[in-house]
Amino acid sequence: MFKIQTLKPVLLLIALAATISFNAFSKDKSTNLKNTDETISFTDAASFGFSPGATGMENVAAMQKALDLGGTIVVSQPGTYKIASTLYVGSNTEMIFGKGVFLKKVDEQGRFAQVFINKGALTKTYNEHITIKGLHVMVNGVDNCSDLILGLRGVLGFSYVKDFKLKGFRCYDLTGCQFCVQINRFEDVIIEDVIIKGQKDGIHFGPGKRFTIRDGVFQTFDDAIALNAQDYSTSNPEMGWIEDGIIENCYDLDQEKKIGYFCRMLAGAWIDWQKGMKVQQSDAVVSNGKIYRVKMPADATLYESVTRPDFESGTKVLDGITWGMTQEIISYTAGVRNVIFRNIQLEKPRIPFSIQFDMGRYNRSYYPGAEIPVQENIVFDNVKVLFEEDLPLVQVTTPVNMITITNSRLKKRIFNFYGNEVYPAYLQPNTISEFGKTCINIHGCVFDHDGEMILLKNSGKGKEIMLKTSSNIELGANFSAKIIEGAGTVDFESDLTGLKK
């Protein structure tokens, strides 16, 4: 007993010394804890002059100093912080923005695109382990469609990233020029608890794999979510496959402007450069171990290419055609595969999901004669259609091998399939039927539609569809399902009134 009592003053002295040391330590600009591999720092951005009272350029300089340290950077003082230029984020960096903290884009030295971009985006080298929490951006009408990297036009623009997390993000005033969050050439991305409203794409992905988008609220004029494996030359810095993703617990809120989709899944394909080939805006070719893209007016003009593009970087005019070197990662196809949509609430009356090619003056995503990309394994689980307009849930204009709908509330037509005359898959089903066939499984859904409902309409010549429905419930008065076979074939096995054999 005596020994324990005599230790108490000693323990009190040790605790007091530790408290004094910690207080003195925390007054420094940053707290550095040594690790076996690297230094982990905890930095208060205010200690560098990041302040609601500073100018936009002063805040950029202050925050960049903090970012260059890496580690965890905290902005805790509530207020609106002006940002007048892009901030560059490196690997092993976490940013935490407290309650009541807003970052506001301002035009002090010209309009700019990204508030944050990763450093490796400019050199096409991967950055890893980047986390952003609690960020609220005010665009404030300050936008620039692409001032650093052609095609990277997100307010948050990240390209060549691994292990990226965005949580608690807010943006309510997205303009008609920039996407909100854009991520290209990625691995292992998690985006959760976001609210995005405005006039352009909410979350825009280029090529990459393993991603999660959850707990999102969207009210966007254009696509809420774009899985654009191929896109306009001004809208994607690179092209390739987007795969292995989950999009869940998301809301598409109503808005007066009805265009765009809740989610666009855009595929594409291109060929090796050939002398005399005809190209238009956004066309891509493989040449000299690289992919080059056409950057010309979006007016559908076709140009004859006689001189091979083979330069190392940047842009060059050849035969009156402006070419840009896009990427050194070679592929000939792009598309979306292995993606699950779960717990999606659809209020805005627009086509929710489009699995498509772009074929227009801005972009010809499939070049005639190219390898045909087949988008794969798209799953819709617990999707609720809340609008009354007669619109399909899913629009399909590309080959896709498998679509599953389960546990969903379906009110209007479900599928519209369209053909595309620039590629031959649907026109010659006997020779390349693997490209033309789509299998559809609808299971455990509630059909809440009064009267006759168009379950599937097909206008693709030679398009072959295999449909199976099972364990569904019909709630609508006098419900009856109908299939419009068109110029293709639809083989079905169904439990629905109107289709039961």
Q: How far is CA 262 from CA 55, 220, 417, 478, in A?
A: 37, 9, 18, 30
Three-state SS for 414? coil
Distance between first and last Cα of the chain: 88
Where are the chain's structural domains?
A: 30-189, 271-327
Measure the CA–CA gap between 44 and 204, rounded to whole angstroms.
31
Contact 189, 208 (CB under 8 A): yes
Assign 411 a pLDDT band (cuts: 50, 70, 90).
confident
Which range among 47-56, 253-262, 364-373 has the greatest average pLDDT? 47-56
Q: Where does residue 151 fall: left (phi above 0), alpha (psi -120 to 50 degrees), or beta otherwise?
A: left
**In the prediction, which pLDDT does 220 show?**
95
Q: Could you tell me which of 393, 399, 438, 439 has the C-alpha nearest to residue 416?
A: 393
106: which 2 tokens? 């301002």
Mean pLDDT value across residues 220-232: 96
Asked if residue 463 lies in contact with residue 415, where contact means CB atoms within 8 angstroms, the answer is: no
Average pLDDT rounded to a whole number, residues 14-28: 39
Mean pLDDT to the nearest integer, 168-195: 97
Sort residue 243 into left (φ over 0), alpha (ψ -120 to 50) or beta: beta
Looking at residue 361, the DSSP 8-state letter turns out to be S
What number is the average pLDDT over the span 15-23? 38
With a CB cutoff of 8 Å and minimum separation 6, the contacts of 107 are 84, 142
What whole-number percentage of the chain has pLDDT above 70? 88
Q: Do the Cβ atoms of 448 and 413 come closer than 8 Å?
A: no
pLDDT score at 426: 42
| Whether pLDDT at 192 is above 70 | yes
**58-68 as b/e: b if 16+ CB within 10 A:** bbbbbbbbbbe
What is residue 16's predicted lDDT score, i.e. its pLDDT?
A: 39
Q: Say if residue 422's pLDDT is above 90.
A: no
What residues have CB less than 8 Å from 356, skipping those under 6 apart? 264, 265, 266, 267, 395, 396, 397, 398
- Looking at residue 147, what is its pLDDT? 87
Q: What is the pLDDT of residues 429-478, one digit of tens each?
A: 444 444 579 999 999 999 998 999 999 999 888 889 999 999 999 998 99
**Per-residue pLDDT tens digits for 275-325:** 999 999 999 999 999 999 999 999 999 999 999 999 999 999 999 999 999
Which pair of structure tokens corresponds to residue 230?
């191929």
